[in-house]
Amino acid sequence: MNIIKIEHIAKIYQVGLEEVHALRDVSLTIDKNEYVAIMGPSGSGKSTLMNILGCLDTPTKGLYDFAGEKVSEMNDDELARIRNKQIGFVFQTFNLLPRSNALHNVELPLIYAGVGKEERTERAIKALENVGLEDRIYHQPNELSGGQRQRVAVARALVTNPSIILADEPTGNLDSKTGHDIMKLFNDLYDKGNTIILVTHEEDIAAHAERIIRLRDGLIEKNEIVKNRTIPE
């Protein structure tokens, strides 16, 4: 069952008098409970595609259907609703509030969604427990290691029970051992039925996915199944 379907997506930016074609003609589908990596060199369009899939940007032309809803025709308020309820974001730079503890950082999406205090605290604690941080709930980001900060970011992504997790270079600021631990966490989430879209420029990270979509010059160059995907122990 498709959760994402895009058809003939293009994105054109106006830079001064020049038009920049970030995406030219991209069509793809992503199924529920699929693990997909998006790869490509700098300037290939992978960040633009991620922003469109995450409803952070809109295509210049083409169709985008997300879980049966026509996202490409939505206004800003409708896009915000999809982002808040359906998509969990994990960023390379963690994007945590530095003066808030782990619990409050994870609660944030629920505050925006209007969830009551008691319920959101309960859900945030459970999300932190699910990523192995039950003993770090009241620690601020500067009291956590890089890997622990990324786990807080993953808990924040999960707390709304999103349809997909969209991760942008999630191991980019981590050492190799910590990066391995985070990829194991993503694999555990995938095994539990989550749909994961991973944007990376690292082949060994992309090898954790079931399928790799390779972009070049705003077009899909390859759409390949990973024959021997990496399953971290």
Q: Where are the domains of the chain?
A: 32-58+84-225
Identify the CATH homologous superfamily for domain 32-58+84-225.
P-loop containing nucleotide triphosphate hydrolases (3.40.50.300)
Question: What is the per-residue pLDDT for 88?
Answer: 92
Expressed in percent and rounded to 5, the helix, strand and coil fractions of the chain are 35, 30, 35
84 pLDDT more than 90: no
Average pLDDT in the chain? 92
Helix (H, G, I), strand (E, B) or coil at 191: helix
Question: What is the per-residue pLDDT for 70?
Answer: 93
Mean pLDDT, residues 102-131 taken together: 93
Cα 69 to chain centroid, rounded: 19
Long-range contacts from 108-116, C-beta under 8 angstroms, 24+ separation: 108/156, 109/84, 109/156, 109/159, 109/160, 110/159, 110/160, 112/84, 113/84, 113/85, 113/160
